[in-house]
Amino acid sequence: MSRFVKKQLFSMVDLLDKANKTLEKNLLKKKIDQEELTKLLSDCQESALSMGNLLEELYGEGHEIVGELEAYCETLYQMALSLLNPLARRELLSQLNRHIKRLRKGVGEKVSNKLEVVFLPYKVSMWDSLESIWQAADADENCDAYVIPIPYYDRNPDGSFKEMHYEGDQYPDYVPVTDYGSYRFETRMPDIIFIHNPYDNYNYVTSVHPYFYSQNLKGLSDLLVYVPYFSTAGGMSEGQGKCISYYYVDYIMVQAEKFRGFYDPSLPQEKLQPLGSPKFDRVVRICQNPPEAPGEWKEQMVGKKVYFYNTSLGGMLGNTQAFLKKMEYVFKCFEGREDACLLWRPHPLLESTFESVRARYKPVFDELKAYFIRNKLGIYDDTPEITNTIALCDAYIGDAGTSVTSLFGIVGKPMFILNNDIHSQPGKDDWRGQVVNGFSLTEKDAWMITQGNRLYHAGRGGDRYSFTFCCDLSHYAYGGYYAWVVELNGKTYVCPSSGQDILVLDPFDKEPGSGQTGAEEECKKECKNEGKRFISRRIPLENPIEQSGAFRTVAVFGNYLFLIPNQYPAIVRYDTATGEIQYWEGSQEVACSTKREERQLGGIGVWKEYLFLASPVDNRILKVHMETGESEVLTVGSEDNTWGCCGMAGDGQEFWLLPYEGKVITRWNPKTGETREYRDMPEGLACTHPSRGYACEGMPFGSAAFYGDSVVFSPNWGNMFVRLDKISGKIEEWKPPFEMPREPKSDYYPYWGKGYFIYPHYIPPLPPTEEIYIDSQVYQFFSSLDKTLYQVDFVENTYEEIPIEFDLEEVRRHEPGFREDSQWLMYACQENAFNSLTDFLDGRITGDPFDKERQIQAFSEIAANPDGSSGEKIYQFVKGKL
């Protein structure tokens, strides 16, 4: 019985008491209104009947208060017959008052004052997100706790409901389940409702029954509380920040303090309560006392190390073709091994998601699944409860962006994160594909930040492309924290990508320990310096965000560094002379967009004292004065421009706007505003999505080279270089003198575009009175497909390959192995050319070996109450808010 219902019953008694007083007052009049009093008595009887019906619905027939109500109604009837008899009605009035007193006492003593708390899971596989809260409520003698599994539907591709599912019969035996059809929410009005589905009608794969959408539940209890169905290893997807239920629930339970930053900033902070995850409570408890393996699993597990293989929704939706090829590769790596057992557990919604949004790939998945089962490659786990499976496994392999990693992390079981783009064993030189990350757009660049936030420098000893290790830029092994290095006024600045600070490097010639501050010593220690170069200062930025990909590039003007935002909410201008930092908001509205499940970013250009940020979806360009910060939005070119701009190639006087979609190049003079569009592209120009492999119209060009009256545009997603004659406007295919690969050299050569030209000389920002013009017959071109650098002479039509050299043993020495991965994955080992899946299975790890205690400590930093008490803390907090 909820406290709300008890209050309701007291309110009903109060109404009867008030009616009694009104009756008494009217009966004292010299002349009574018999018709009015009869109506009042009838209303009292109706109220008493409603109260009786409510009690019988809640308690069944025979409740003693119902007997008192029946007696009260009989007295009302006698009063109606005796309205004209003063003596009889005086006695009957006294009886009514005695009935009211007994009813009030009965409600106080005979109606429970316990809390009524309802839990509404829908998939039994997600019950662990609520279980420990329920256990705390169930153990409270002053609480009645109800577990009410609710139905849900698969969706058709058009969003309509398909098959209904109800999993109420699949819960553990110790969980008493109440049928959702027998619990009358409007009648019982529970004090607290806990939910773990935040999407309501905005999940395009499944939907709970609309009655259980948060907007409706909000009116059926005193407190509505959302507990995430997932746990996280450090990050959250952007889509999890603004789910519809957040705006109806009273509280959102957050895994740790740091995760407040992932949620919509418009949500009141008091709504977000960092009390931990019940999922951790359960996995910690079960792993301390693992269950016995199911009988059909035992034979395959005995004497073998068991690897939990997780295929997630995010991995499948990100690149379905690569995901399926990865499944096939994993199966082959385990096939025939006598020392390893592969336990494959697909995400519980994987097949329905294939059917809803990737239907054309479903037959391929079905065949892979059938092959796995038919050939008995391992254990196919479709059991409803993941925690028992985790307890029976020795290690994790699979995607990083899934809550399963956090469950393995918190209990200290090793995690090997798969790269879905890798489908083969590494070859001899495949390590170069992940080390040679590319160059900036100017030849002055002598730095390279390799994967894993490791900084290398070239040019010492006269060889500009022979790189040696300088330092680690972060104590995290991965995460893409830094991407660009700028040398300005004798200092070196490392600018962030996912990081949110600027690093200042100490000069090469400074001796370690000479005049260093305590902070510098700490930086040196943090970066594992080898006496070559180290970070002397970190310049933190304000208003940090929790998402990765804070910035997209850096621009330089005078003494200023401009960090151009991706996820970060502002352009950041850092004055290297004074140390002043300014934040200019408002650029995202023009320069960023989301389309076809991808975040789109427009082109960037600098001209004189202006910074330009182009839209990826239309003809708008944000113009920002780099001294004052004043800005305006320009419209450039055709009004019907829907192709947007992915790049602004500038020759110092004009910009060539490269289309985000389609094949229209726009030539724009920022001084005069004149534009010209070039549409007549060579026959056969086609584009292919770099990671998903399908034909598209996206980003055919990536950069430009200017020589004489010609502009040569390099392919990005396109299949050819094109040359444009600025005088005649004629466009034709340009065939490079070197052989341009059509595909990446191997799986270990990641790329987003096929390559780009590097400007032939460094172009410093000039005062607005000066003009520059780029015109050179010699350019460098970096091929991303095979990580090769060429020097090209356009007039002579010749080229020279420029060797890019790293010392393999030095690179290997700095391979992290098992390490704190990033703030979005606290500890793991990444699959790459130094650590393949086969290497992991063989126990042959390059870099740090697995350290269980180090992993547990790392994950404890992103979990409130990691001792298994989150459920109790959550229950007590919510209970205290009633």
pLDDT digits (tens, 9 = 90+) for 785-810: 999 999 999 999 999 999 999 999 99
Q: For residues 63 and 54, what is the distance between their CA atoms, to the nearest angstrom?
A: 11
Per-residue pLDDT at 633: 95
Per-residue pLDDT at 37: 83
- pLDDT-derived band at 157, boundaries 50, 70, 90: confident
Question: In which residue are the tokens 């806990």 written?
Answer: 194
Per-residue pLDDT at 596: 64
Q: Which of 159-168, 185-194, 234-243, 342-351 has the lowest mean pLDDT?
A: 234-243
Residues forming a β-bridge with 756: 782
Cα-flanking dihedrals φ and ψ of residue 675, to 5°? -135, 155
Q: Is the dihedral of CA 251, 253, 256, 259 positive or negative?
A: negative
Averaged over 692-698, what is the pLDDT?
A: 88
Residue 282 has which token pair? 């359960």
Question: In which residue are the tokens 């090209």 written?
Answer: 792
- pLDDT-derived band at 2, boundaries 50, 70, 90: low
Per-residue pLDDT at 149: 97
Report whether 567 contacts 556 (CB < 8 A).
no
Per-residue pLDDT at 877: 97
**Alpha carbon of 338 to those of 414, 469, 523: distances in Å?**
20, 41, 46
**For residue 63, pLDDT beyond 70:** yes
Per-residue pLDDT at 3: 72
Q: Which amino acid is at 194?
A: F
Report whether 400 contacts 415 (CB < 8 A).
no
Q: What is the pLDDT of residues 22-57, one digit of tens each?
A: 888 888 777 778 888 888 888 888 888 888 888 887
Higher-pLDDT residue of 216, 87: 216
Please enumerate in sequence order all residues whose Cβ is within 8 A of that of 661, keeping only pairs 6 or more positions apart, or say none: 642, 643, 644, 697, 698, 699
Q: Which of 69-73, 674-678, 725-729 has the lowest mean pLDDT?
A: 69-73
In 3D, which of 619, 623, 589 has the Cα closest to residue 605?
A: 623
Per-residue pLDDT at 253: 97
| Percent above pLDDT 70 for the chain | 94
Averaged over 515-538, what is the pLDDT?
A: 54
Residue 364 has which token pair? 């391929």
Averaged over 269-288, what is the pLDDT?
A: 95
Higher-pLDDT residue of 100, 340: 340
Q: Is the dihedral of CA 833, 837, 843, 848 positive or negative?
A: positive
Per-residue pLDDT at 518: 41
Higher-pLDDT residue of 37, 2: 37
- pLDDT-derived band at 199, boundaries 50, 70, 90: very high
How do beta strands 788-793 and 798-802 pair? antiparallel
Per-residue pLDDT at 203: 87
**For residue 524, pLDDT beyond 50:** no
Per-residue pLDDT at 444: 63
Averaged over 863-881, what is the pLDDT?
A: 94
| Strand positions, DSSP E, 665-810 | 665-668, 675-678, 687-688, 695-696, 701-707, 710-715, 721-725, 731-734, 755-758, 778-783, 788-793, 798-802, 805-806
Per-residue pLDDT at 119: 98
Q: What is the pLDDT of residues 809-846, one digit of tens each?
A: 999 999 999 999 999 999 999 999 999 999 999 999 99
Residue 196 has which token pair? 């773990």
Per-residue pLDDT at 401: 81
Averaged over 538-547, what is the pLDDT?
A: 88
How do beta strands 551-557 and 560-565 pair? antiparallel
**Alpha carbon of 99 to those of 74, 76, 81, 103: distances in Å?**
11, 11, 18, 6
Q: Which amino acid is at 704?
A: A
Averaged over 532-542, what is the pLDDT?
A: 85
Other Cβ atoms less than 10 A from the Cβ of 272: the count is 18
Q: For residues 821 and 843, what is the distance between their CA atoms, to the nearest angstrom?
A: 19
Averaged over 416-434, what is the pLDDT?
A: 95
- pLDDT-derived band at 770, boundaries 50, 70, 90: low
Q: For residues 546 and 562, what is the distance between their CA atoms, to the nearest angstrom?
A: 21
Q: For residues 213 and 231, what is the distance between their CA atoms, to the nearest angstrom?
A: 22
**For residue 516, pLDDT beyond 50:** no
Q: What is the pLDDT of residues 610-658, one digit of tens each?
A: 999 999 999 999 999 999 999 999 999 998 888 999 999 999 899 999 9
Q: For residues 705 and 310, what is the distance between their CA atoms, to the nearest angstrom?
A: 46
Cα-flanking dihedrals φ and ψ of residue 402, to 5°? -150, 150
Burial of 777 (0-12, 13-18, 19+ CB in 10 A): middle
Per-residue pLDDT at 514: 43
Helix (H) or strand (E) holding 595: strand 592-595
Helix (H) or strand (E) holding 385: none
How do beta strands 829-830 and 415-417 pair? parallel
- pLDDT-derived band at 302, boundaries 50, 70, 90: very high
- pLDDT-derived band at 158, boundaries 50, 70, 90: confident
Largest Cα–Cα distance of the chain, in whole Å?
125
- The SS3 assignment for 489 reads coil
User: How far is the first Cα of the chain from the last one, in angstroms, to the nearest whole number?
Assistant: 15
